[in-house]
Chains A and B, each alone.
Chain A
Amino acid sequence: MTGRFRRLAETDRPAIRLTVDGAPIDALEGDTLMVAMLTAGDALRDSEFGAGAFEGHAGDGRRAGFCLMAACQDCWVWTAAGDRVRACSTMAQDGMAISTHQPEASWAAVT
């Protein structure tokens, strides 16, 4: 899969590896989760709304974030612990396991 984002500078940083939905991706130390995921792939998650507009998916298409300043909440992803985080304002860490789908039991897990 080709990356959506293109690295233009600061490429001489130590490599880190994380997984997204179980698949390994390579990133660089200092990347946000969003940059790690979008230099390796082209989207962060599926839209949950607009049903029927996109065959085979619940919503109307893939989403890849929008504002990058923690205001739009279009970049939500989930950690292995079930915590919802904004990919734009969370730093990628070596060994992180990210899920692009909300864990089903997450609402019960927090109580």
Chain B
Amino acid sequence: MGGSDMSGHRVIIIGAGPAGTRAAQTLVRAGLRPIVIDEGRRSGGQIYRRQPDNFTRPYSALYGTEAERARDVHATFDALIPHIDYRADTLVWNVADGHVWASCEGQTQAIPYDALIVCSGATDRLAPVPGWQAAGCYSLGGAQIALKAQGVAVGHRVLFLGTGPLLYLVASQYAKAGADVAAVLDTSALGLRLRAAGKLAAQPDLLWQGLRLTLDLKRRGIPVLTGIRPVEIHGHPHSGVAGITVARGGRTWRFDGDAVAMGWHLRPETQVADLARVPFAFDAATRQWLPVVDDDGRAGNAVYLAGDGARILGARCAEVTGELAAMAALADLGHVADADRRRALLAQKGDYVRFASGLAQAFPWPADMVAQVGDDTIVCRCESVTAATLRASVGAAHAQEANRAKAFSRVGMGRCQGRYCGNAAAEIIAAARAAPIESAGRLRGQAPVKPIPVALRRTDV
């Protein structure tokens, strides 16, 4: 039986990325044996995703400037395995009444906890673009995983669309690996980046890295357009993506390509926190509802959040907040806290928070573009529901917030459970009502947080 310390405290960590790894390390150092539940087959999470064992590329090729951090996070977790109860390939699909419901290979188990540290990470934040349902459109993070974990490009000529640091990072990684990058198309204007430079300077090497990536792309002769609006992703229902048209001012550009890697920065994966009854509050800077935690990651009811699953502060900061959350859990369980270490970690976190506010300013979510998306545009890729259907549910069915609109239009009800349409649906609902976006509310997390087989055998009773 894992998860307990000498006093019998059971601690569960969900996620084995940088936050989960540092949380586990902190608990093991304090003499605990936490349960670590990982949806992946191996630790690392998404950003430090590992390639299969029979692949041979070195860390420098996979993780670039973050190679040493990736190596350290992996080595730390590998060394922890004998000291933790590691459950790989296991999906947490519900949290209720002080138990985590986890399923693995057709079996499910309700595991009790005294403290729960949720390190659930992030997914790409997507905006609907006409034609984005075509085969060959991928999330930016997905395009990066294809290269990092499998050594493939998502197309033979790849277009990059969206905004945020990942846009430039993945495009540059593709170019370096020998992929044909057709264009990098950023919806944020360059001027915003200059105005945010002061805040971005909170992480000078990350700011410098960003500048270098852009220069590298331009040096390779790849068109980099900023401040554009996507007009349409061209394609065919059978053969998929054929190209894209974008506009700026009165001018349009068309680029050919058979894949679009798209994303507008990231959004936290908050379903598990929601089921654990963590309160949420509206965050005006990122225009979304986020879980409420204190500086250390406490969310109440013995639940702690760390990493990008709480706030998008990046992989480096996830190591900091993972340790902080574990320290908070330990303190609440009666262990003696290291006040100096805590102060140092909080100071580091403060710099990342400042940097993240710079990113939000430099690479904003294109709220107006989303609110004004054409009626024919598909908002829900899962079930091919258009903006017109969503707007009609607001008008005819008086669906004034996201959950009611979901019931009438099915936007958010498909197999991704609102992960890739939820942010956009809120903008469209709010605009249709001419109301502030916070009044559109947020899609409530539902169990199971991901589809699970109908026949799960319960093994804890």
- The CA-CA distance from A47 to B133 in the complex, in Å, is 9
Q: Given A5-B146, A5-B153, A6-B152: A66 and B237 within 8 A (CB)?
A: no
Q: Mark A59-90, 1 if CB is under 8 A from B, else 0.
A: 11111111111111110100000011000100
- The CA-CA distance from A88 to B61 in the complex, in Å, is 22
Name the interface residues of B213-244: CB closer than 8 Å to any CB of A. Answer: 236-240
Q: Is the interface of B mostly helix, strand, loop or mixed?
A: loop
Whether A35 lies near B123 (C-beta < 8 A) is no
Question: Is residue A99 within 8 Å, beta carbon to beta carbon, of the partner chain?
Answer: no
Question: Is residue B178 within 8 Å, beta carbon to beta carbon, of the partner chain?
Answer: yes
Q: How far is the CB of A44 from chain B (nearest CB, A)?
A: 8
Q: Given A30-B54, A54-B238, A62-B237: A5 and B154 within 8 A (CB)?
A: yes
Q: How many chain A residues have a CB neighbour from B under 8 Å?
A: 47
Question: Is residue A105 within 8 Å, beta carbon to beta carbon, of the partner chain?
Answer: no
Whether B382 lies near A73 (C-beta < 8 A) is yes
- The CA-CA distance from A53 to B235 in the complex, in Å, is 13
Q: Given A8-B178, A68-B141: A60 and B52 within 8 A (CB)?
A: no
Name the interface residues of B114-141: CB closer than 8 Å to any CB of A. Answer: 123-124, 133-139, 141
Interface extent on B, as a size class? Answer: 35 or more
Q: Which residues of A contact B155 (CB under 8 A)?
A: 4-6
With both beta carbons as reference points, the residue of chain A lying nearest to B410 in the complex is identified as A49
Q: Given A4-B135, A60-B237, A72-B415: A9 and B177 within 8 A (CB)?
A: yes
| Other contacts beyond A35-B152, A74-B381: 19, CB < 8 A | A4-B135, A8-B152, A10-B57, A13-B55, A32-B149, A42-B240, A60-B237, A61-B134, A61-B236, A61-B237, A61-B240, A64-B136, A67-B142, A68-B139, A71-B420, A84-B453, A91-B52, A107-B454, A110-B453
A-B contact pairs, 12 of them (CB 8 A): A7-B152, A9-B57, A29-B54, A32-B150, A43-B135, A47-B133, A61-B238, A67-B416, A68-B146, A71-B420, A73-B382, A111-B455
User: Which residues of A come within 8 Å of B, CB atoms?
Assistant: 4-11, 13, 29-32, 35, 39, 42-43, 47, 49-50, 53-54, 57, 59-74, 76, 83-84, 88, 91, 107, 110-111
